[in-house]
Amino acid sequence: MNGSAGLRNLLVALACAAGLAAPAAAQAPHTHQHSFDDAQQWARVFDDPERDAWQKPHEVIGALALKPDAVVADIGAGTGYFSVRLAHMAPKGRIYGVDTEPGMVKHLAERAKRANLANVSALLGAPDDPRLPEKVDLILLVDVYHHIEDRGRYFRRLQNALKPGARIAIIDFRRDSPVGPPAAARIAPQTVRAELASAGFELSQEHGFLPNQYFLVFRAAGS
């Protein structure tokens, strides 16, 4: 791919690539007609360098201002697009790349091993529970929120996975984005804020530098 047509094709491919009823192989958008058994195939889509231009991963991670020893859960990690980058930014910490698709978990584990990223752990989560083995400083969900069913229950459960003062960062497609899941599947940021408030969280930061997505950061209310 090259030029604007190449980028458009990549975005369309991403928009067709992650249609799951739960946060698996996400960090790309929506349809319920794709298998993620072939992680190598999807890696060519999810990890295409052209994605960096609009996903801005380094700017995202920079905005999160992680400490070197941060413990982070990347829920819906897919092939590890964010997980491996987070690992470099928190070299003394631990990154849990969580996915509900076994093929993606295996792929991420192998990717981390090849890159000598001993601080990355690939975890098989459940649709209603990421099954984190310890409390974390940050939970990151990129293009995952609109896949989660019974979100109130899901995020109330996440309260137990957070250290005091920990954050939940949610990035997902805006209603007016030219790419992403079908309009009916998109969730407005106002809805995200309301649902997280009902689950016991309050908005602590909102970033506006992503061209296609909103970027909201929450903390437990009163923390």
Reported as a single tens digit per residue, the pLDDT across 109-138 is 999 999 999 999 999 999 999 999 999 999
The residue segments making up the domain with residue 152 are: 3-46+55-220
pLDDT at 223 (0 to 100)? 73
Round to whole Å and give the CA distance between 83 and 218. Answer: 20
Cα 113 from Cα 115, distance rounded (Å): 5
Instruction: Assign residue 69 the CATH number of its domain.
Output: 3.40.50.150
Most confident of 31-40, 47-56, 163-172: 163-172
- In degrees rounded to 5, what are phi and psi of residue 3? 70, -170
Of 40-54, 139-153, 193-207, which range is least confident?
Answer: 40-54
**5: Cβ contacts below 8 Å, ≥ 6 apart:** none
Question: CB–CB of 64/138 below 8 Å?
Answer: yes
Q: What is the mean pLDDT of the chain?
A: 84
Read off the pLDDT of residues 156-172 as tens digits, 9 standing for 90 and up.
Answer: 999 999 999 999 999 99
pLDDT beyond 70 at 190? yes
Residue 16 has pLDDT above 70, yes or no: no
**How open is the CA angle 147-150-155, to the nearest 5 degrees?**
90
Q: How many domains does the chain have?
A: 1
With pLDDT > 70 as the criterion, what percentage of the chain qualifies?
A: 78
Res. 207: pLDDT tops 50 = yes
Average pLDDT, integer, range 54-64? 97
* Helix or strand holding residue 41 (H, E): helix 39-46
